[in-house]
A = this chain, B = another copy of it.
Amino acid sequence: MLLEPEWALQDPQDYIRTFQHTIPDVLSMSGVDPQDVIGIGTDFTACTMLPVKKDGTPLCNVPEYRRNPHAWVKLWKHHAAQPEADKINTTARQLNQAWLHRYGGKISSEWFFAKTLQILDEAPEIYQAADGLIEAADWVIWQLTGVEKRNSCTAGYKAMWSKREGYPSNDFFKQLDPRLENVVDQKMSRSIDPIGNKAGELTAQAAQWTGLTPGTAVAIGNVDAHVSVPAATVTEPGRMVMIMGTSICHMLLGREERTVEGMCGVVEDGIIPGLFGYEAGQSGVGDIFAWFVNNCTADHYLREARQRGIHLHQLLEEKAAVQKPGQHGLLALDWLNGNRSVLVDVDLSGLLIGATLGTKPEDIYRALIEATAYGTRVIIEAFEKNGVPVDELVACGGLPEKNKMLMQIYADVTGRSIKISASRQTPALGSAMFGAVAAGSRAGGYDTIFEAARHMARLKDEVYRPIAANQKIYDRLFAEYVRLHDYFGRGENNVMKTLKQVRDQVN
């Protein structure tokens, strides 16, 4: 079946197959004795959600619904629920919903209730038939333990739940759509476990799938970006974790709930129990560099890279790294995939200014990297302006491993030291840490994530420190970036939106 544009589904059987094949393979390849595995932690993409029957059976596994795409798992990057997200935002603003401030004033089409509302709009029979709507992060824990538990991370960041106020009111849901009035009580749960809790123990069946020991402790569900924070040694305020890959997630802890412009969310217990977890993000980073390399780098660069047996990215980095800041004369806005924080606007687009007939691909490559660093600095300054300090940066993900120039530029632009997570699999390490916490010290694990972080998480020795001379130039260029950012991003000149409108009208 051909899906509509913007759809993205998964098959929940693939998750079970991972238990059945990947875990046994890892055990056998590593030679680890299953008896030595004292706890299990997981992390998932989010919001990735599915409709289920009362016993947890995915609706897509029920023959009569198999051919309905709404019966399947909607992956995080399913982007077809934008009209529903728009309706939620409009309604929330009209009804003056306080929770909206926790999400930078706007919820995303990727999130739980946008996807839920799309099911209700387009496949009311699926909505009807579903006894539950659940994050896949929680569904896999249910499959491992036999008990349905919902975690505070996805509930908070993706389903507008908070520890103090719970979900939005039934009245809000009723105003959104009368059929949705009792969605929380009918299809979800008001019982939310904080991150760090134990969900239950491995069932006999799950033990058989995995080759692990029945009764092994299982941590409640968690999310890939969030689980990385303690794995990057961060369990306290002031140190921002940047998960740097195709996009960047910025994770930060605070002792109080503050409203910070354009956050993806602030959730108590959302990352580390007892603290407020802030999440911000840039929707395009490595993706932008890849776009440039794949589309806009002349063939003689590719030939040179091939001759030297290096990747085009390395060649461009090498040519750009010898430049001083400001030398290429370019400035870019890093919005080729929209802007997540702080503007929360998918309709923004890219800008490159300053090109001359002498501009080279490595100049543009460096300017794009700098633009993403300026974007990170805007986020940092938004936090600080609202009383959430950011003293140091800790990076993990693919980019810090690959591009030293990029890391130095981030240090110079932000004026902050950047440390690097020692693990190349930071999310997996974080999951293991929460597994150790679920097991507890009596089983040989740890009683808190703080303890686990002290013993299991490590940073590399290398630190990127800002270079004063570079900072000075970048401060000047950043002021120009902010001016363009505000001019094109805050409504003074909406040409980016006009261009997309014209594009959509003629297509």
Contact = CB atoms under 8 A, between A and B. Distances in A.
B506 A325 contact: yes
A353 B496 contact: yes
What is the count of identical protomers in the complex?
A: 2
A355 B350 contact: yes
A327 B287 CA distance: 22
A503 B328 contact: yes
Interface string A320-354: 00001111111100001100000000000111111
A127 to B, nearest CB: 33
Contacts of A324: 506-507
A291 B359 contact: yes
Contact of A502 (B287, B326, B351, B364): B326
A375 to B, nearest CB: 15
A476 B502 contact: yes
A353 B495 contact: yes
A263 to B, nearest CB: 24
Contacts of A361: 295-296
Contact of A495 (B291, B336, B350, B480): B480
Given A493-B487, A506-B325, A355 B359 contact: no
Contacts of A303: 299
A420 B498 CA distance: 34
A455 interface: no
A477 interface: yes
A483 B492 CA distance: 11
Interface string A451-495: 000000000000000000000010011001001100110000101
A288 interface: yes
Interface residues of A, number: 54
A128 B359 CA distance: 41
A16 B299 CA distance: 42
A457 B352 CA distance: 44
A473 B501 CA distance: 11
A350 B349 contact: no
Contacts of A352: 350-352, 355
A493 B488 CA distance: 12
Interface in A241-298: 284, 287-288, 291, 294-298
A284 B330 CA distance: 18
B329 A357 contact: no
A493 B483 contact: yes
A356 interface: yes
Contacts of A484: 493, 495
Nearest to A292: B296
A349 B356 contact: yes
Interface string A206-227: 0000000000000000000000
B506 A327 contact: yes
Nearest to A291: B357
Contacts of A298: 294-299
Given A502-B476, A503-B327, A353 B357 contact: no
Nearest to A469: B506
Contacts of A488: 353
Nearest to A287: B357
Given A495-B484, A499-B330, A337 B356 contact: yes
A66 B350 CA distance: 53
Given A351-B354, A487-B487, 16 more contacts: A288-B357, A294-B298, A295-B298, A296-B298, A299-B303, A324-B506, A326-B499, A326-B506, A327-B503, A327-B507, A329-B503, A330-B499, A336-B357, A350-B353, A352-B355, A476-B498
Interface of A: 284, 287-288, 291, 294-299, 302-303, 324-331, 336-337, 349-357, 359-361, 364, 473, 476-477, 480, 483-484, 487-488, 493, 495-496, 498-500, 502-503, 505-507
6 nearest A-B pairs in the assembled complex, by CB-CB distance = A299-B299, A350-B355, A329-B503, A326-B502, A296-B296, A354-B499
